[in-house]
C-alpha cells in the first residue's frame, strides 16, 4: 500500500511562514539545507523572495490533527550550531560535530576560504543566521 505525500507549510517548526520546514518534511531532508538553498536564491537570484511569498500563500498550513510522531535515530542527525564549543557563533564546531570531523580542520577551511575568497566570510555569516542552536 502506497500513501500519497502532501505538501504543507509546517508553521509549528517554521521560522517565518513554515515553507522551508514543510518542504524539508516533504522531501525528508534537513530543514537547514532547504533554508540555505532558499537564501542563496534570495541573495543571488532575487526570485527567492517572490517564490517564498507565493509558496506561503499557495501551500496550505498543516492542521493540528495532522501531527506526525517523529522518531529520531542516531543516523539522522540535524545540522546545528554547537554552542558548547563555539568560538564565535558555533558554526564550525556544529559542522565538525555533524560530520564527525576535528573542529580545527573545519576552522582552518573557513579561515582559508575567508582569506583567499570573500565567500568564506559570507558563507559563515549565512550559516550563523540559518542554522539553529543545539
Domain chopping of the chain, boundaries:
1-70, 71-134
DSSP codes, 39-88: HHIIIIISHHHHHHHHHHHHSPBPPGGGPPP-PPPTTSPPP-B-SSS-SS
The larger pLDDT score, comparing residue 19 to residue 6, is at: 19
Convert the pLDDT of each residue in 9-48 to its tens digit.
877 777 788 888 888 888 888 888 888 887 777 777 666 7
The answer on pLDDT for 112 being more than 50 is yes
Query: How far is CA 11 from its chain centroid?
Result: 15
- Three cell numbers written together for 8: 504543507
Residues with Cβ < 8 Å from 24, sequence gap 6 or more?
Answer: 10, 30, 31, 33, 34
Once rounded to an integer, what is the mean pLDDT over residues 93-109?
A: 82
Task: Evaluate if residue 4 carries a pLDDT over 70.
Answer: no
Tell me the chain's radius of gyration from C-alpha atoms.
17
Question: What digits encode the pLDDT tens for the residues 67-97?
Answer: 444 444 444 567 888 888 888 888 888 888 8
pLDDT of 1 strictly over 50: no
Note the pLDDT of residue 45: 66
At 69 the pLDDT is 43
| Closest C-alpha among 70, 90, 79 to residue 36 | 79
**Confidence class for position 65, pLDDT limits 50, 70, 90:** very low
Handedness of CA 120, 89, 130, 84 (dihedral sign): positive
Amino acid at each position: 500500500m502506497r500513501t500519497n505525500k502532501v505538501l504543507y507549510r509546517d508553521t509549528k517548526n517554521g521560522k517565518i511562514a513554515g515553507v522551508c520546514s514543510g518542504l524539508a518534511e516533504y522531501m525528508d531532508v534537513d530543514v537547514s539545507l532547504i533554508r540555505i538553498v532558499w537564501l542563496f536564491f534570495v541573495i543571488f537570484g532575487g526570485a527567492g523572495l517572490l517564490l517564498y511569498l507565493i509558496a506561503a500563500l499557495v501551500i496550505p498550513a498543516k492542521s493540528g490533527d495532522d501531527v506526525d510522531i517523529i522518531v529520531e535515530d542516531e543516523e539522522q542527525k540535524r545540522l546545528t550550531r554547537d554552542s558548547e564549543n563555539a568560538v564565535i557563533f558555533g558554526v564550525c564546531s556544529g559542522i565538525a560535530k555533524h560530520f564527525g570531523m576535528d573542529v580545527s580542520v573545519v576552522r582552518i577551511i573557513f579561515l582559508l576560504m575567508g582569506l583567499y575568497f570573500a565567500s568564506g566570510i559570507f558563507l559563515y555569516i549565512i550559516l550563523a543566521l540559518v542554522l539553529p542552536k543545539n
